[in-house]
Amino acid sequence: MSATSPADPDPGRTTTAPQHDPTPPDPTPATPARPPRLREIDGLRGLAIAVIAVYHIWFNRVSGGVDVFLLMSGFFITAGFLRSTDAGRGLGYRAYAARIVRRIFPPALIVAAATVLMTFLWLPHATWNQQVDDITASALYTGNWHLAANSVDYLSSNNGASIVQHYWSLGVQTQFYLLWPLLIGAAVWAAHRTRIRPAVAVTAALLAVLAASFTYALIETAANQSYAYFDTRARLWQFAAGGLLALALRPATRAWTRRLTGPAPAILGWSGVAVLIAGGAVLESTAFPGWAALAPVAAACAVILAATAAPGTGAGRLLNTWPLQRLGTLSYTLYLWHWPLLICYLTATGRDTATLLGGLAILAAATALAAATHWAVEVRLPATGIGQRTQKGAFALGAGFMALALASCTALAGYIAYERERLADAAADPSLYPGAAALVLGLDVDGVDFAPPTLDAAEDRDPELSDQCNQTMTGFEPVRCDFAGGELVEPGEIAEDAKATIVMYGGSKIWQWLPAVLAAAEDRDWHVVAFTKNACIIETGQERLGEERYRSCAAWNDAVVEEIGRIAPDLVLTYGSRIGYEAYETFPDYNDRYEQLLATGAEVVALRDTPSPRFDIPTCVDLHGAGAAECTVDRYDYYDARGFAELEVPEGVHKADLTDYICDAATCPPVVGNVLVYRDDAHLTNTYALTLAPYLERELLAVLCADPPAAG
């Protein structure tokens, strides 16, 4: 699924109105001056959730509905605070916060708890750790920052879509709900201090937020769109736009809308509706929340302006129809349910988008669950009075539902821990888990569970290089880590009698060999130094490619080579070829870099790259089984039998090919010797890498002019 996802359809509405009222009020401070609610707005909600669901289910695209709901939240919250200040009241922050909690917490947290059960029942074990983390962050309303962090974490880049990916917008909106009264309150306070009208001060504050946030959104979208999409700072301009619309339509200032006469309201309304319907088809998902987001924001403003000038006419006739009004009433709960149902469907069918009938089934199920949740939580629960009578009661109600969601996450996490311990104990017997030795010796070790289990596969990587020892995709400073006796140590703690110094230099495809290198180093008293950077190859001249990640990779490479020169190691282990997502092994021109490394006085070992299956192996094994053909790839989909052997390299560069310890003569299976080979779609598990240690040790010893042992 796309890295982007839908936003929460305005959890600003409350259910204090009678059950039959399709236009319940918003969680803003109650005042006697509340104007009548436009029915078109609920129809706009219904249209927005419809396009969100349709574009997600059948087209896997962002629709722009997210931006409509963010704008409407800014519109209603700002309008409520303005009514309160116009009436001479305070902002009533506690009452406002209590109404927010009553409205948004129960439905969201009940569905969050339900997604834990859905994860347990229908999603692959390989995704459980990710899903528990995502659901926990979502239940704490920090899901947007959690997803933003993972969006730039190369080591998490192969995670599938989160079952609560859509909850990112609840995090954004909750942060908006916390920030907005502070902003409005500061503006009103400044107005009193300077004796200007509060509306003028609020307008100035919102214009400043809009300008700053939109500028930030443009810059961040261009530099790092996947992060910007979830970044609250890049979304505040949409709330501010809604607030400015509310200021423009205040009873004291809305007379100007009377100038919208003749066909103007109809043109505005129908244009807005057309943009909202077509936006998902024509707008690039990668342009949100920058320039592309202007279209749905402007469209929603046009619809609201048209409805204000000429209610019930033009596009209002469509928006006031029962289906869209009903969808508007169910928009919040329908939004909450449609995404997890879609994820479960896509996982079960192995599809990227739904079929026509499958999508209709998802919509039917989501609508039924949305209606049931709306009735139980948004109608019957308020009617009981539980958590409704006092502010403390509201906060206790919210805390109770949050505890339910977090307890569900804790239960699944506990089960994962139990399974992890059970399988780890079973995998302690090396005779049952020989890994690579099974290929060499032809061992038959069927009949036991493989290790690591798919529950742990994604995390089966070296923690040092995952955190403090590994440079990010955008960083360029060398990050050095030293190992002695197989343990991470400070450079000054290295034993002076180390028999050799070995530098590991490259990206994640070099990093994955660390367990094997450290196992050999522990036996041989080697000093190991690691320099790794995500998604960075060692080819020279990458700075000419233009993108920031290539410039940072080039700068990092140059700096690391200087560091290696100062270390003067005995051997450098680095890339010999590259297998990414292209059809075959490629051989970038590494010879200039090899010459630089040879100039340090080191021997260079160029390691042939490991296959990249191009699909998540642990998930495939969960869905189809360890021996399934769907999870086994053809060895020669990657390798030309003669390519690496005939590769010309400078004298002093030694080629090492360990493919025969990962693949058999024809295929590369997902499990070898009862050990899971891959932790994702490209990288070896630590567990399997350890079984490669004797064979890599033999290659390194041969280069270091020692007598290599007989591996296996």
Domains belonging to the chain, first-starting first, are: 39-410 (no CATH), 456-703 (3.40.50)
- For residues 81 and 74, the answer to whether their CB atoms sit within 8 Å is no
**Paired sense of beta strands 500-506 and 571-575, if any:** parallel
Give the pLDDT confidence score for residue 27 in this predicted structure.
46
Residue 131: pLDDT above 60?
yes
Residue 599: pLDDT above 80?
yes
Give the pLDDT confidence score for residue 28 in this predicted structure.
43
Q: What angle do CA 660, 663, 668 make, to 5 degrees?
A: 165
| pLDDT tens digits, 158-205 | 557 899 999 999 999 999 999 999 999 999 999 999 989 989 999 999
Nearest to 260 by CA among 321, 314, 317: 314
| pLDDT tens digits, 14-29 | 333 322 333 333 444 4
| pLDDT tens digits, 639-656 | 876 678 888 999 989 999
Residue 8: pLDDT above 90?
no
In the chain, % of residues over pLDDT 90: 68
| pLDDT tens digits, 677-693 | 999 999 999 999 999 99
As a whole number of angstroms, the distance between CA 531 and CA 470 comes to 7
| pLDDT tens digits, 512-551 | 999 999 999 998 999 999 999 988 999 998 888 777 788 8
As a whole number of angstroms, the distance between CA 60 and CA 161 comes to 11
Per-residue pLDDT band at 153 (split at 50, 70, 90): low
Sign for the CA dihedral angle at 447, 448, 449, 450 comes to: negative
Give the pLDDT confidence score for residue 152 in this predicted structure.
63
Is the preceding omega at residue 289 within 30 degrees of 0, hence cis? yes
Give the pLDDT confidence score for residue 156 in this predicted structure.
56
Rounded to whole angstroms, what are the CA distances from 467 to 413, 508, 529? 22, 13, 16
As a whole number of angstroms, the distance between CA 603 and CA 491 comes to 21
Nearest to 556 by CA among 465, 482, 479, 501: 479
Q: Three-class SS of residue 42?
A: helix
The mean of the pLDDT values for the chain is: 88
As a whole number of angstroms, the distance between CA 80 and CA 99 comes to 13
- 């009193």: which residue's tokens? 192
Nearest to 473 by CA among 507, 503, 504: 507
| pLDDT tens digits, 325-340 | 999 999 999 999 999 9
Per-residue pLDDT band at 495 (split at 50, 70, 90): low
Element containing residue 527 per DSSP (H, E): strand 526-533
| pLDDT tens digits, 284-319 | 888 999 999 999 999 999 999 999 999 999 999 999
Give the pLDDT confidence score for residue 11 in this predicted structure.
39
- 């300077």: which residue's tokens? 194
- For residues 556 and 533, the answer to whether their CB atoms sit within 8 Å is yes
Give the phi and the psi of residue 685 in degrees, each rounded to 5: -70, 155
Residue 87: pLDDT above 60?
yes
As a whole number of angstroms, the distance between CA 576 and CA 66 comes to 46
Give the pLDDT confidence score for residue 497 in this predicted structure.
76
Q: What angle do CA 201, 207, 213 make, to 5 degrees?
A: 135
- For residues 543 and 570, the answer to whether their CB atoms sit within 8 Å is no
Give the pLDDT confidence score for residue 427 in this predicted structure.
65
- For residues 605 and 699, the answer to whether their CB atoms sit within 8 Å is yes
| pLDDT tens digits, 553-576 | 999 999 999 999 999 999 999 999
| pLDDT tens digits, 497-509 | 789 999 999 998 9
Rounded to whole angstroms, what are the CA distances from 190 to 197, 467, 540, 592? 10, 45, 57, 63
Give the phi and the psi of residue 536 in degrees, each rounded to 5: -130, 120
Per-residue pLDDT band at 465 (split at 50, 70, 90): low
Give the pLDDT confidence score for residue 646 in this predicted structure.
86
As a whole number of angstroms, the distance between CA 170 and CA 142 comes to 8
- For residues 188 and 202, the answer to whether their CB atoms sit within 8 Å is yes
Mean pLDDT within 42-58: 96
| pLDDT tens digits, 441-459 | 888 877 678 888 898 888 8
Mean pLDDT within 662-688: 93
Give the pLDDT confidence score for residue 456 in this predicted structure.
85
Q: Which long-range contacts (CB under 8 A, 24 or more apart) does 318-322 make?
A: 318/43, 318/273, 319/39, 319/40, 319/42, 319/43, 319/44, 319/46, 319/47, 319/273, 320/39, 320/40, 320/43, 321/43
Mean pLDDT within 236-265: 89
Give the pLDDT confidence score for residue 472 in this predicted structure.
84
As a whole number of angstroms, the distance between CA 474 and CA 451 comes to 33
Q: Looking at residue 293, what DSSP letter applies?
A: G
Give the pLDDT confidence score for residue 712 in this predicted structure.
52
Mean pLDDT within 413-423: 86
- Identity of the amino acid at 519: A
Q: Which long-range contacts (CB under 8 A, 24 or more apart) does 222-228 make?
A: 222/290, 223/548, 224/152, 224/474, 225/286, 225/287, 225/288, 225/290, 226/3, 226/4, 226/148, 226/151, 226/152, 227/148, 227/151, 227/152, 228/289, 228/290
